[in-house]
């Protein structure tokens, strides 16, 4: 029985669909939404903003806030409560590292811009191949 589900979420529509799927299919499970920020890129982008912040954890939480706010809105619409958390670093690695604490992982098939997917890699594919627990990829 699946009692704890990790849903990886970014600002993409596929991530929204992944959360909706998890809320619907795993109606009796505890859902935790993970937003990973500070992903590496050629220009470092958000990672630099976090690394140079006076309080890196607070800066990471600030960057993730819109994503997690949207996740809570979607859960409210479904009449469900969720837990939210923020990760820092490479999304696939962070998701896989946290997956062992859950019964299943749900991810969108892709997210971010084409440039992000080319530089960072295919997060869903990496999570699917490396996760210690079953992974559902939502299209």
In what side-by-side order are the strands of the sheet with 135-138?
A: 83-88, 30-37, 4-8, 104-108, 135-138
Asked if residue 64 has pLDDT above 90, the reply is: yes
- Fold (CATH) for 4-138: Rossmann fold (3.40.50)
**Quick check: 64 and 91 in contact, CB under 8 A?**
no
Q: Identify which of 43-47, 100-104, 118-122 has the greatest average pLDDT.
A: 100-104
Rounded Cα distance between 107 and 123, Å, is 9
Taking only the tens place, the pLDDT of each residue in 29-56 is: 999 999 999 755 544 556 666 766 788 7
pLDDT, average across residues 96-118: 81
Task: State the pLDDT at residue 131.
Answer: 98
Q: What is the structure's pLDDT at 105?
A: 98
Query: Quick one: pLDDT at residue 133?
Result: 98
Which candidate, 82, 86, 92, places its Cα nearest to that of 5? 82
Strands (E), 63-118: 83-88, 104-108
Q: Taking 60 as the threshold, does the pLDDT of residue 59 lie above it?
A: yes
Please state, for a pLDDT cut of 90, what percent of the chain lies above it.
Answer: 65
Q: What is the mean pLDDT of the chain?
A: 87
- pTM assigned to the model: 0.87
pLDDT of 120 = 43
């Amino acid at each position: 029985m699946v009692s704890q589900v990790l849903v990886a979420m970014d600002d993409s529509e596929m991530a929204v669909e992944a959360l909706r799927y998890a809320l619907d299919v795993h109606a009796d499970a505890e859902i935790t939404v993970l937003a990973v920020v500070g992903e590496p890129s050629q220009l470092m982008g958000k990672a630099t903003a976090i690394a140079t912040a006076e309080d890196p954890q607070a800066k990471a939480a600030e960057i993730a806030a819109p994503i997690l706010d949207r996740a809570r809105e979607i859960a409210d619409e479904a009449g469900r409560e969720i837990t939210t958390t923020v990760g820092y670093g490479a999304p696939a690695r962070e998701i896989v590292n946290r997956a062992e604490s859950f019964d299943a992982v749900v991810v969108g098939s892709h997210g971010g811009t084409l440039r992000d997917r080319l530089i960072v890699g295919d997060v869903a594919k990496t999570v699917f191949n490396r996760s210690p627990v079953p992974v559902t990829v939502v299209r």
